[in-house]
Structures are given as structure tokens and as C-alpha cells.
Structure 1
């Protein structure tokens, strides 16, 4: 009788509170769905294999040979027969999706509006200098890391990665001529933490709390992924009932607290806060609007080590395009899409390429947009169709990320003699860079052109790329980047590229000159070495990268972007039959974010959990790395 009474009591309580049974049932469904997602049946063809990775061949530096791959101009007769998938945009996400689908048996056509494939991975050469446009460093490219394993699958191991300096980022605060400089040390969390303690010995407790938060953040990003992988109906139930919040407590905690408030909780040292929060520019969101989750995901990416692609960032697209072609696909440039075509049943079934006022309609079973959510729903889809997507109502709520201004500088002298580091620098005039940035954004462009730039990112591609000196002996390049609002240059939006008028050119060049003066103060050896300068504004981003307001990172990465209810709609499936999304808007910004979004989109199309396949492949790769003799060959 001792057990009967409590059991009866529990049974009666459950009868009187049926909501508990419902909650338990939903929790069971959620856990069951997770078990299917991570260990259940895997329909479709596995596109991954260790056999795809080959020994890397030497980098091809002949630009004419590279252009034959990267600059295949669109003509209707170049489109392969029986294309079943069209991808809009040839950035990392579009190319990744195409490679995976090609291996799974699909014939994919990738269309790029610019005259060179690669998106933010493309480079340009002008007057004897080559400049990258988006990749300044990539983390976790060590052999056997999952990010490296996936990258090798995308490129068949043909892109090799050069380690940057162990001190991968330099933070400079104060007057550029006498700035206080701090470095971020890679090589693992212990080295990272001890290096910080050398600068801030009185902040040992705060550094310990920071490292604990970074450790907690390592697995928390699954909280972003899971609502996108699960069926939408199940994600809705889990989030509405609170089951998701119960299971993903760590994610909710970290995604709902700003990094600034976290810093305020652990220290009163404003210099320390400024140094630790420096990397916010990689997301375009200041610490008071950036979640602890996003910060920890970002800095954790680089702590193990930072790398740069040998041959420059265009090497990535250069190696991926032939893979797509091998499976019957094609990547064609100078192919601006004016419209996604929808049939009378509301299904996306084609695209319209508009060149020189001539339209070419192309059709396929599915359309994948890597052009960004705002572009896709505001400009490419008929509005009566766009509003049918459950995502449409959230576009304005999230909004675009901030724009940037980039000064491209070519200088006389090689990087070694000039002392240019294989690292990046983040330069701030003051510790309160949030206030400085807000004041700077509120200036007119005329006023800004007369002020020192309060926030500047400096990158030295010529120092990072070991093939640089072979291609451009005795020369170096520097990229100087700052954040700025679209409104500064909006009035010149309708001007023709390279012909926007003297006022536009004068303002942007004055800002660029000021940024260069600050660079000379930070690196005195470059003074008097200037040979080339060009300045790109948010209008340049719009023209070359197709961003409607020149934004750097697609949709805004502030707190509400990762709210579970909103985030679950930023998924590959749009709710419009035949139309899928990929790209940084689906997941998050950065090379790695874009590549993993391709994995997510391909998973949705193949009805296969490719994340499981990638995890299995990573384990297999690590075993082979330990015992190369065990590797199977074709």
C-alpha cells in the first residue's frame, strides 16, 4: 500500500491538470523529433565523402586562366539542358548549395549579377594591385575541425589555408600616433585568457567570467539552427508552448542578454570593456545591441586560430565552379535577375535575366535565392506572392544591417620591409566607441569628411597571402574600413557607376584620405609610399554585391534577429512552393555562416540531415588524419 497512495495522488493530480499531460506529450514529440534529426533515417544521397578531397595543386596565378573560370559571361546558349535548380547569387552560400546539390544528382545553374563570380569572395585588380572585398580572416581552419572539413568538401581540398600571426587581431585605442595597443592571441582558450591577464592583471576574475561565458556559448548556437531544421509546425508548437525555451535554456539566456550589459556586470574597467568588445564590427552591431550568444560565437571562431586563403579569397570560387560544372551545372556572370517567375498556381518556376533591356526567361523545378531576404521579397518577387510568405511580415522588423566605407590602398614596398602584420587592426579614438560611432553616423557626409574616423578596421591582404610577392613583387595593399549609414550617399543612388559627379567623388576621397592619414600614424613605415587609392561607399556595395541599401551583413544582427519565433521563419523554406533561401540571412554573417547556410538549404531540398553527415565525416576525417595509411582510394 506504501506506493499505491502516491501513485493514485499523482494520477488524480494529472486528471485535474490535463495541461501537464499535454505539455509532457509535446515534450516527448520535441525530443523524438530531435532524435530523428540527429540519429534517424536519412533519405536522399549523401554528398560527402573523404574521397572528394585531393592533394592541393599549386595556385594558378595566370589571371587570364582564372578569368576563364570566374568570368563566364551569360548567354542563353551557355545554359545547360535540363537544369532543375537555379541559384540566384554566386557568393559562398550559393556556390556551396550548388556543389552539394550537384553531388546529390541535381543540375544547377548559378547566376551572378556582377561580372565576376564569388560574391564577397571575389577580388579585383586595378593598376597593378589586387584587393579582396570581404574575406579578411577565417577561423577554425585547422585540419580535422568541422569547418575545415566542410570547406574541403566544397573545394575538394584545393584551397589551402595560411595561418595568420598568432596575435591575429590588434586593438588600438586613442590618438593614432600614440595609441595603446592590445593583441588577441589564438591557440586555445587558455592562451587567450592568460594573454589578456598580462594586459589586465587586476581583471583576472572578470576574464574568468568571460571565458566561462565563451565556454557556455560553444554549443548554444544550436538554438539558432534547430528551429530552422525542424518542421515549421513542430517549431511553432515547441516555441509557443515553452518547450523550446525549457530545452534551450542556455541559448535563451545568452541570446537575450546584451554583451554590453554582460561586461557591465563583470567589471567597471572601461578600457577592458573596450578591448574585449572590439570585434563587434564583424557583425556591424555595437555591444549594447549585440547578444552574448553572437559575441561568443564570433570570438570562439578565432580563438583556435585565424587563417587566410592561399592565393587570395577569389581562390575559393575559382576552385568551386569546376566542381559544379563537373556535375552538369554552370556558373554564369553578368546575369542580373529582374524577377522571380511564378506560375498561375503560385509556384516559383523560373527567373528573368535582364541584360541591355533584353529579357531571357529561364525555368527550373526550384529556385534558390542567395540574393538576400530583402532583395528577394521586396524586389524580385511579385508583391502579391511575396506577402504570402510567413517571413514577409518580419522583414521591416529586422531591417538591414549598417553600411560601410572602404578605402583600397596600394603602396610601394613589400609587406615585410614595411612591417605590415599578418593580422588585422581595430583602431578606435576612444574607449566609448559606441558614442563616437553614433555621433559620427549623425554627421552629414561633408562634416564627416573633415573629422577623424572614430572607428577603423585595417587589413593587410598582401601580408597574409604567401603567393602575393610572386604575383605583385615590391607592392603591398591595405584595406581601411569604417561603418557609415546609407543615408550619407543615398542622394547619389541614381547616378551611373564611376560617373556620380564631383561632389560624390570629393566627399568619399576626403574621407578616404583622412583614413589613410590615420593609417600612416599607426604604421609610420608606410608614410610617403602611397601609389593607389580608391574609395568604395555603400553605393559600391549595392552595385557590386546587390545589397539594396549597401548593407554589409544582410539583415541586421541585433537581438531580435535571433528571437526564436522570428528566427524560425528565417529558414530555407519560404512558404512559396518552389522557392528556397540560402545565405547569411538564413543563418548568420561571415564566410562560415554563409557556407553552413548552404548546408542548411541543401538539407531542406534533399530531405536529409546533412549536419549528421558532416559530423560523421568529421569523425572519419580525424581518424584518417591520425592514420593516413587507412585512407581508402577509388
Structure 2
């Protein structure tokens, strides 16, 4: 009898799920994708769209959804819901929409602040289809050179340089040419890449089915029998690559796309997926799509409104010296789990055990420091290229990162172990039109929030001379290192901005200036943790978007 009840219940659930997913007319269709329209190059006209200031009279009536934060997660969910016929309002605390993925212009130079390059956009790829559907075909991409990344290990005469090529077969073949004694190790790693890419949707499915069902499959071992991805996701990257080869340079290649976590604390699946992401090419966005719905900036949300039944029903927004309330039956937060749970929820809700349990599953991510440099001269004159550069002082990422983050505040600037260089003005073919005769470069490295904490109570652009001198110690070291690759840029530097974890805190509201929000460590990608960490929250009608891992660095205008 009970078996019959269970089978009937599962049948009803399956039928309901099928109807919900496929039984209704989809807002997505081939017909909605149209040829890209002419791009608006007039910055004032662009600003009218991306810099609409908040006021209550601009808030649409009878909202269905409020989205907090206009980063890529917030804009994606907002655009999707708008296509599905929902009335959506996006609220952004900064003075420009886009979150980590916008560009900013200063002194005639335009810098990307997060989306340095993106993969998986070849024709008919799932990601390309998603972008085309969400933007109705209005977002265009420029494919970068096949040689999209260079990895440099060591300094001076001990320097070794390796190149990474895109291509379905070329990527693996090109690495084997550079490591002829480790072809078997490369072949095994690429098999892991293939498994990770083809079976990651199994991990995602843990979030789509009822949580009790996910935990049942994992705890009984049934999930592990279905696919090796459930074990691989919780496998330490360092431990696995040590079984493949003793070549430490190749170890770096397998983990060079750093995101604040050393290989010994990262999942082999995540590291493999990051490399696989560019296997079919690297791309750079040419321009933005016109948003549907309403996005209002200069709208810092100070609290999610929660009624006595524990249900979210709107938000409180700071306007000048006053708070104003905006109501909707659903609230979606794109500002990270720590900000959402620790800052936006009422105190009596924050202290609840189920909220604290979710927070306990996460750690704060590392902060970042970026140097934005502008040069007079074309990229041809300066010797700049579209290829990204990843520089490491030695080939032991685990040790160098551990030693660096153990340093005190005064020692850190002179001992930076790694950095990333990108040149957005070379990647975008329209940069020559918008900013003729100018070139720009962004340099990134990871830093500790504690090194900048003494200035946390100061105001942006008014942090004082000591703060400026301290961040410039980092900037000068990074810029000098970049000049060893591009020597012509030194004499052509006319503008430089430096962003620290405090910049992230001011412009993104990111706690401790964490560049990638919560840390993407090994524990987080254990299959059970994946099953438990969902978009729904203990507060009914309050949801959170995915915690980022798409290389969003920060956002800012005048960075201090």
C-alpha cells in the first residue's frame, strides 16, 4: 500500500514537473533572435540607459519581482523573468548598472572591470544560445586569437614561457608539444576535462530535485555509481595532478586560471572546467544589449522587508537621508550570501539557526588589487596584444600563495607571487573608434583584506596619503613586472588608477572586498554541499543568485 502511495506521488511530481518545464509556451524561441542593431556609441545616450537614478515615481506599479544588484547574475535572472512576462525591477547601489561586468571611462580611457574574456561561445553552444535568447541577439562578441593565454613562470634567466591555444584538438596537441615528456599526463587531464564538462549537469541536478532526494542519492552511494563527477568535484586539485606528473611547471598549467584559492584547497573539477571553458575559443564582448524591464541605480538596498510570517515582501532603499520602501511578492538578491544574510535581513531573522547554518557552509573569499593603466599610443606602437598573460614567480602555487598570505602588511607589496595582465583596448575592435590613439591595460593580483583594514572607516577618495602610498607600493611592483614583457609602455603611461579590497566594498558592497564573493574552496564543491546550497533561502520568497565564479574583479568609477 505504502509503495503504491509513493509511486503515485512520484508520478504526480514527475508529471507536474514535465508540465511546468515543457507544457507551457516557452518565452524563448528562434523568432525572438534578430540581427544586431546599430550600436550606440554616444556615451551620453548610453548613460541614459545604464545610469537611471532611483526615485519612487520611476518604480513600476504592481511589481512581480525585485532584484537586488545588477551584476551578471541579477541581470540574467531579471531579463529571463521579463521575457516570461514578469514585471521586474533591478536596484543597483552604484551609479552605473552592470555590477562587475561593466566598463568605466576615465580621462578618455575605457577599462573593463571584470569580464576580461569568455569562452563556450562557438556557434550553437549552449552558452551562446542562452546569450542570444536573453539579449534577443543584440550582444555581439569578437573571437580572440587562437593563442589566447601566455603563462610565464620564474624570473630573469630562469624564466619559462608557455602558450595556450584554443581549438577542439589543438589545445591538447599544443600542450603536448611543449611538454613532450608528459603527454600521458596531459591526455589524462584532458579526459578529466571532458568528464567534468559533460557531467557537470549531474551536479546541477542536485539543486533541481527535492533536497531529500539529492541527499538520499549521495548518502546511499547511488549518485557515485551514476557518474564519477560526484567524487571528482570533491577531489583536491593538487592531490590529483601529483598522480599525473611530477613536472611542477605542468602543475601550474593545470591550475593557472587562479581565483583566490590555491590548488591544494580547490576542486579539480573547477580547475579543469576553467581550462575547458576556452577550448573552443576565447571571446570579448563588442557591446551591450538593451535591457528589458527597469534598472535603477544609486539605489542602495538597506533591508529586505520580512513580515511576521517570515516572508519577504519588498525592500527598503536609501534615498538621500531617508529610507523608502518598494514592494514585490518575490525578492532576489545578487549581492552574495554574506551581504544578503548578514546585512540585509532584520536582526531577528539573521540569528535564526537555519540562516546561520547556511552561512557556516561558506567562507569569505580573497580580496583583489587591480591596476588600471592608460597609455598614449596605439597597441601596435606599444607592442600590446590581445593575448592575456599569467605571471608566476615560481612553479609552486600552493607554497607561494600560502607564504604570501602569511606575510604582514609591510612585507606584502614587495613579495607578490603572481599576477594577471589583460589589454581590453586590443581585444575590442571598436576601441579604436571610441578612443583613438589610446591603449589601456588591467593588472590583477590577490591580496588580504587585513592589509587594508586600518582604512576601512575612511571615505572613498578621502582615504589619505598613507593609504595612497601603500596601494602604490603594490601598483609600482606590478607595473614594473608588466614592463618586463611590454617595455614600451613605461614612457607612455599617462593615467593610472589602483583598486583595493576597500574599493570592492564601496562599489560592490562586497564584505571584506571579496572579489569572487564566497570562497570557491574544495569543501564548497563536495557533492553534499552542492546539494544543500540552493538559490532558495530559509526566508520564504527570498532567493539568491549563484555566487560568482566568472572572474568579476570589481566595479568603480574613480577608484580609491
**Greater CA drift, 428-437 or 538-547:** 428-437
CA contact (8 A) 1:121 1:132 kept: yes
Distance in 1 (CA, whole Å) between partners of 2:534 and 2:419 is 33
TM-score, normalised relative to structure 2: 0.93
Structure 2 vs 1, CA of residues 345 and 32 (structure 1 numbering), >3 Å: closer, same or farther?
closer
Distance in 2 (CA, whole Å) between partners of 1:422 and 1:27 is 57
| 1:237-256 correspondence to structure 2 within 5 Å | 237-247=216-226, 249-256=227-234
Out of 424, 431, 449, which is 1:486 matched to?
Answer: 449
CA contact (8 A) 1:26 1:238 kept: no
Distance in 1 (CA, whole Å) between partners of 2:163 and 2:11 is 43
User: Once the 2 structures are TM-superposed, how far is the Cα of residue 28 of structure 1 from its aligned partner?
Assistant: 12
Residue number in structure 2 paired with 1:95:
75
Distance in 2 (CA, whole Å) between partners of 1:538 and 1:140 is 30
Cα displacement string for residues 283-308 of structure 1 (whole angstroms, at most 9, x for unaligned residues): 32211111111112211111110000
SS at 2:207's partner residue? Answer: helix
Residue number in structure 1 paired with 2:160:
180
Residue number in structure 2 paired with 1:327:
none
Give the structure with higher Rg (CA).
1
Distance in 2 (CA, whole Å) between partners of 1:506 and 1:180 is 32
Out of 474, 477, 487, which is 1:514 matched to?
Answer: 477
The question of 1:396 aligning with 2:360 is answered yes
Distance in 1 (CA, whole Å) between partners of 2:211 and 2:536 is 9
Out of 194, 202, 215, which is 1:223 matched to?
Answer: 202
Distance in 2 (CA, whole Å) between partners of 1:465 and 1:389 is 49
What RMSD in Å do the two structures reach over aligned CA positions?
2.5
SS at 1:392's partner residue? Answer: helix
SS at 2:62's partner residue? Answer: coil
Out of 131, 139, 148, which is 1:159 matched to?
Answer: 139
Out of 249, 260, 274, which is 2:252 matched to?
Answer: 274
Cα displacement string for residues 572-607 of structure 1 (whole angstroms, at most 9, x for unaligned residues): 21132111111x32xx51179xxxxxxxxxxxxxxx
Structure 2 vs 1, CA of residues 487 and 337 (structure 1 numbering), >3 Å: closer, same or farther?
same
Structure 2 vs 1, CA of residues 103 and 275 (structure 1 numbering), >3 Å: closer, same or farther?
closer
Distance in 2 (CA, whole Å) between partners of 1:30 and 1:263 is 42
User: Once the 2 structures are TM-superposed, how far is the Cα of residue 417 of structure 1 from its aligned partner?
Assistant: 2.4
Residue number in structure 1 paired with 2:174:
195
The question of 1:345 aligning with 2:309 is answered yes
Cα displacement string for residues 544-598 of structure 1 (whole angstroms, at most 9, x for unaligned residues): 111111111111111111223322232221132111111x32xx51179xxxxxx
Distance in 1 (CA, whole Å) between partners of 2:402 and 2:477 is 19
Residue number in structure 2 paired with 1:136:
116
User: Once the 2 structures are TM-superposed, how far is the Cα of residue 164 of structure 1 from its aligned partner?
Assistant: 1.0
Residue number in structure 2 paired with 1:331:
295
Out of 379, 400, 405, which is 1:441 matched to?
Answer: 405
Cα displacement string for residues 65-94 of structure 1 (whole angstroms, at most 9, x for unaligned residues): 110000000011111111121110111111
CA contact (8 A) 1:30 1:238 kept: no
Structure with the larger helix share: 1
Cα displacement string for residues 138-171 of structure 1 (whole angstroms, at most 9, x for unaligned residues): 0011121110010111111111110111011110
| 1:375-524 correspondence to structure 2 within 5 Å | 375-388=339-352, 390=354, 392-449=356-413, 451-524=414-487
Distance in 2 (CA, whole Å) between partners of 1:216 and 1:384 is 45
User: Once the 2 structures are TM-superposed, how far is the Cα of residue 198 of structure 1 from its aligned partner?
Assistant: 1.3
User: Once the 2 structures are TM-superposed, how far is the Cα of residue 394 of structure 1 from its aligned partner?
Assistant: 3.3
Structure 2 vs 1, CA of residues 176 and 391 (structure 1 numbering), >3 Å: closer, same or farther?
farther
Cα displacement string for residues 320-344 of structure 1 (whole angstroms, at most 9, x for unaligned residues): 42x22xxxxx100000011000112
User: Once the 2 structures are TM-superposed, how far is the Cα of residue 437 of structure 1 from its aligned partner?
Assistant: 2.0
**Greater CA drift, 117-126 or 40-49:** 40-49
TM-score, normalised relative to structure 1: 0.83
Distance in 1 (CA, whole Å) between partners of 2:14 and 2:217 is 11
Out of 532, 537, 556, which is 2:519 matched to?
Answer: 556
Distance in 1 (CA, whole Å) between partners of 2:524 and 2:110 is 35
SS at 1:42's partner residue? Answer: helix
Cα displacement string for residues 224-275 of structure 1 (whole angstroms, at most 9, x for unaligned residues): 311111123332333344433333x411221121111111101111122123
CA contact (8 A) 1:170 1:184 kept: yes
SS at 1:542's partner residue? Answer: helix
CA contact (8 A) 1:540 1:550 kept: yes
Distance in 2 (CA, whole Å) between partners of 1:368 and 1:213 is 35
SS at 1:335's partner residue? Answer: coil
CA contact (8 A) 1:388 1:576 kept: no
CA contact (8 A) 1:177 1:521 kept: no
Residue number in structure 2 paired with 1:309:
285
CA contact (8 A) 1:224 1:562 kept: no
CA contact (8 A) 2:54 2:296 kept: yes
**Greater CA drift, 213-222 or 483-492:** 213-222
Structure 2 vs 1, CA of residues 270 and 29 (structure 1 numbering), >3 Å: closer, same or farther?
farther
| Count of residue pairs brought into register by the alignment | 551
The runs of 5 or more residues in structure 2 that have no matched partner are 553-560
